[in-house]
């Protein structure tokens, strides 16, 4: 099922043949790195690709020295280079260059590779999509640094291809907290989509998994207590009509063609805003528009039937709380009373026999 592809992480963009199954250990005999840099350390060192694009073969020695792979020699990755000068290679375009070195990163990062082959990026690349990213597109080639330092770097990396999504995220409550205040509590792209085994966000499976995805943070009492946000979001959702329908659909007991409302249908996907941003009337007006997407005839009072992601209490929905409290006592009283009546009737029948 797996087609041969691995995206560069470490791999230099230098034009060399594909690597072997395993790279030699660091420090093995080979061409010293300073010999490689005698050519590749020249900023003007480049080659022409078949489509006319100029491909730089320059490797910045300073960036290489600060890379996470600084302890490796050039031939640890480019293990097939055994002589200087080495044979030149020609490629049709930059995409062909990336594909030529797909196995280099796999030699050391096999765990990431096995997850990658199940992701949507790998699927797009295997179908011939030249815009699908390779390892080097996200991690770089020689100046590789930890991808989450700083944490906002993750979202900026994804923005290179997903610019419209990144712009929406930057203006959302999550994006503002991250990009302006470096808040470590808010999610970045990989928290929701993962890094290598990225699923198709347009699939039904993804849509149904959204409540559990959001619940990772929104049921965390330690985090939510900082912002005064209810942690009952998942339980209250699962207890209402929408959540029950989603649960039944996940179990296969509902026709998948029936639309099920999850978190992002009401709150947005990447453009999530603060609920306290604006007046109560403005929030209700927004909710009405959301409800009318599925309930065209919804009136202005329609959203008021929903109490939000809060358990009923004296503060939130006091009338509903009072009714719940009443039934909490009334129902047991009725059941116990009926049971007692039956027992007394039975006792009377036995005594009068």
Q: What is the pTM of this model?
A: 0.73
- If asked whether residues 75 and 163 sit together in one domain, one would say no
What integer best gives the mean pLDDT of the chain?
82
Percent of the chain past pLDDT 90, that is, above it, reads 35
Model pLDDT for residues 22-76, shown as the tens digit of each residue:
343 444 457 889 999 999 999 999 999 999 999 999 999 999 999 999 888 998 8
Asked if residue 89 and residue 9 are part of one domain, the reply reads yes
Query: Looking at the structure, do residues 19 and 96 belong to the same domain, yes or no?
Result: yes
Is the pLDDT at 120 greater than 60, yes or no? Answer: yes
Higher-pLDDT residue of 220 and 283 is: 220
Is residue 191 domain-shared with residue 204, that is, in the same domain?
no
Residue 305 sits in the same domain as residue 288: yes
Q: Are residues 217 and 228 in the same domain?
A: yes
pLDDT tens, residue by residue, 159-181: 999 999 999 999 999 999 999 99
Percent of the chain with pLDDT over 70: 87
Last residue of a domain, one of 198, 214, 233: 198
The answer to whether residue 18 scores a pLDDT higher than 50 is: no
pLDDT band for position 251 (cuts 50, 70, 90): low
- Return the pLDDT at 104: 86
Average pLDDT over residues 78-93: 85
- The answer on 333 and 307 residing in a single domain is no
pLDDT digits 0-9 by tens, 180-221: 999 999 999 999 999 899 999 988 888 888 999 999 999 999
Both 340 and 290 in one domain: the answer is: no
pLDDT for residue 169: 95
293 and 305 housed in the same domain? yes
290 falls in which pLDDT band (50, 70, 90)?
confident
- 8 & 108 share domain: yes
Residue 7 pLDDT > 80, yes or no? Answer: no
Q: Reply yes or no on whether the pLDDT at 19 is more than 80.
A: no
**89 shares its domain with 206:** no
Determine the structural domain holding residue 23 and report its residue range. Answer: 1-145
pLDDT for res 27: 41
Q: What's residue 252's pLDDT?
A: 60
> What is the C-alpha separation between 133 and 136, in angstroms, rounded?
8
Residues 128-152: pLDDT tens digits?
Answer: 888 888 888 888 888 888 988 899 9
Task: Look at residue 279 in the predicted model and tell me its pLDDT.
Answer: 59
Which of 145, 168, 187 terminates a domain? The answer is: 145
Would you state the pLDDT for residue 26?
A: 41
- What pLDDT score was predicted for residue 256? 52
- Count up the domains in the chain and report the number: 4
What integer pLDDT is reported at residue 289 of this predicted model? 85
| Domain match, 140 and 14 both | yes
Mean pLDDT of the 287-315 span: 82
């Amino acid at each position: 099922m797996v087609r041969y592809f691995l995206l560069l992480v470490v791999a230099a963009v230098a034009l060399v043949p594909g690597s072997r199954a395993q790279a030699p250990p660091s420090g093995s005999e080979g061409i010293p790195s300073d010999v490689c840099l005698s050519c590749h350390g020249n900023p003007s060192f480049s080659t022409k690709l078949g489509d006319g694009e100029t491909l730089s073969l320059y490797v910045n020695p300073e960036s290489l020295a600060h890379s996470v792979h600084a302890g490796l020699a050039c031939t640890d990755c480019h293990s097939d280079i055994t002589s200087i000068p080495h044979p030149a290679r020609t490629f049709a375009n930059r995409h062909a260059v990336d594909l030529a070195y797909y196995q280099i990163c796999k030699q050391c990062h096999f765990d990431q590779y096995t997850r990658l082959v199940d992701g949507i990026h790998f699927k797009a690349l295997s179908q011939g999509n030249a815009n699908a990213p390779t390892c080097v597109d996200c991690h770089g080639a020689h100046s590789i640094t930890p991808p989450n330092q700083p944490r906002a770097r993750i979202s900026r990396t994804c923005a290179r291809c997903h610019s419209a999504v990144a712009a929406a995220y930057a203006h959302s409550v999550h994006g503002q907290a991250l990009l302006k205040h470096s808040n470590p509590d808010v999610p970045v792209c990989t928290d929701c989509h993962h890094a290598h085994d990225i699923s198709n966000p347009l699939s039904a499976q993804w849509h149904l998994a959204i409540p559990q995805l959001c619940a990772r943070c929104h049921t965390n009492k330690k985090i939510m207590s900082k912002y005064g946000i209810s942690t009952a979001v998942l339980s209250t959702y699962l207890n209402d009509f929408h959540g029950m329908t989603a649960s039944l659909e996940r179990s296969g007991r509902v026709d998948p063609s029936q639309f099920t409302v999850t978190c992002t249908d009401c709150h947005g996907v990447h453009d999530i805003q603060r609920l306290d941003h604006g007046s109560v009337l403005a929030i209700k007006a927004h909710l009405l528009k959301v409800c009318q997407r599925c309930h065209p005839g919804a009136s202005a009072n329609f959203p008021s039937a929903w109490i939000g992601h809060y358990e009923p209490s004296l503060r939130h929905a006091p009338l509903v709380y009072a009714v719940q409290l009443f039934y909490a006592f009334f129902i047991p009283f009725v059941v116990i009373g009926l049971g007692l009546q039956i027992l007394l009737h039975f006792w009377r029948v036995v005594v009068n026999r």
